């Protein structure tokens, strides 16, 4: 991951908050509306509860983020109207690797991989491991559909922030978010982004550098 798209190093006590709150407002342009978006979960390849749910999800999280960093990933949400795009290091543009495209097609740089469903859980585990601590994500496994769910208690005045991960072939392929501001489903597609998506990254970088006199 390029240095300008690396996850920030923070105390492990804040890792869980970054995992979920970062997803809730990953868009630099603000929080989406409260419209609930219909979705269909992909068929999970996990058919029975793992012996160790936490370790199983940890391995899935790390494998997903490793693949996203190595091969690139495109994550679409709000019915495909918004995208988060990550290119591999070898395709970084001016040392930048990630961009968010809003519903109006306006790109803005992404500074941390916490914004990606493929990486937010992995980053949280990594930060905790570096600090020699464990992070309680409120993790559960649903044997009916093979999904993993994390729950963050946001305090007495807010509903819990719930993220449900669908997994296929050992990788996160979908994240459904349920929060105070509404619900959305993030579809995760690994591989080199399209030429149009790469152009969005280049446009965001050129705009940022021009605005900052670089």
Pick 139 or 134 by higher pLDDT: 139
What is the reported pLDDT for 19?
Answer: 38
State the pLDDT confidence band at 18, using cuts at 50, 70 and 90.
Answer: very low
pLDDT for residue 34 is more than 90: no
What is the reported pLDDT for 46?
Answer: 65
3-state secondary structure the chain: CCHHHCCCCCCHHHHHHHHHHHHHCCCCCCCCCCCCCCCCCCCCCCCCCCCCHHHHHHHHHHHHHHHHHHHCEEEEECCCCEEEEECCHHHCECCECEEEECCCCCEEECCCHHHCCCCHHHHHHHHHHHCCCCCCCCCEEECCCCEEEEEECCCCCCCCEEEEEEEECCEEEEEEEEECCEEEEEEEEECCCCHHHHHHHHHHHHHHHHHCCC
pLDDT for residue 8 is more than 60: no
* Mean pLDDT, all residues of the chain: 82
State the pLDDT confidence band at 160, using cuts at 50, 70 and 90.
Answer: confident
pTM score, whole prediction: 0.79
Residues 6+ apart with CB under 8 A from 214: none
State the pLDDT confidence band at 41, using cuts at 50, 70 and 90.
Answer: low
Cβ pair 175, 165 in contact under 8 A: yes
Section 103-120 average pLDDT? 95
pLDDT for residue 13 is more than 90: no
Cβ pair 23, 31 in contact under 8 A: no
What is the reported pLDDT for 31?
Answer: 37
Among 19-23, 35-39, 123-127, the range scoring the smallest mean pLDDT is 19-23
**Unique residue bearing structure tokens 């072939």:** 169
Interatomic CA distance for residues 27 and 186, integer angstroms = 13
């Amino acid at each position: 991951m390029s240095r300008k798209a690396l996850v920030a190093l923070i105390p492990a006590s804040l890792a869980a908050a970054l995992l979920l709150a970062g997803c809730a407002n990953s868009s630099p342009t603000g929080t989406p509306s409260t419209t609930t978006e219909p979705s269909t979960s992909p068929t999970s390849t996990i058919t029975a509860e793992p012996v160790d749910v936490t370790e199983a999800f940890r391995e899935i999280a790390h494998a997903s983020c490793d693949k996203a960093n190595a091969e690139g990933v495109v994550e679409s949400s709000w019915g495909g109207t918004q995208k988060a795009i990550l290119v591999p290091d070898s395709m970084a543009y001016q040392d930048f690797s990630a961009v968010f495209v809003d519903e109006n097609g306006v790109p803005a740089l992404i500074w941390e991989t916490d914004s990606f469903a493929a990486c937010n859980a992995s980053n949280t585990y990594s930060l905790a491991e570096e600090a020699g601590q464990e992070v309680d994500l409120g993790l559960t496994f649903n044997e009916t559909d093979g999904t993993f769910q994390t729950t963050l208690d946001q305090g007495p005045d807010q509903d819990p922030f719930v993220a449900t991960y669908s997994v296929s072939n050992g990788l996160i392929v979908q994240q459904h978010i349920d929060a105070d501001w509404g619900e959305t489903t993030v579809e995760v597609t690994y591989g080199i982004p399209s030429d149009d998506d790469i152009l969005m990254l280049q446009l965001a970088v050129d705009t940022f550098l021009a605005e900052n006199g670089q």
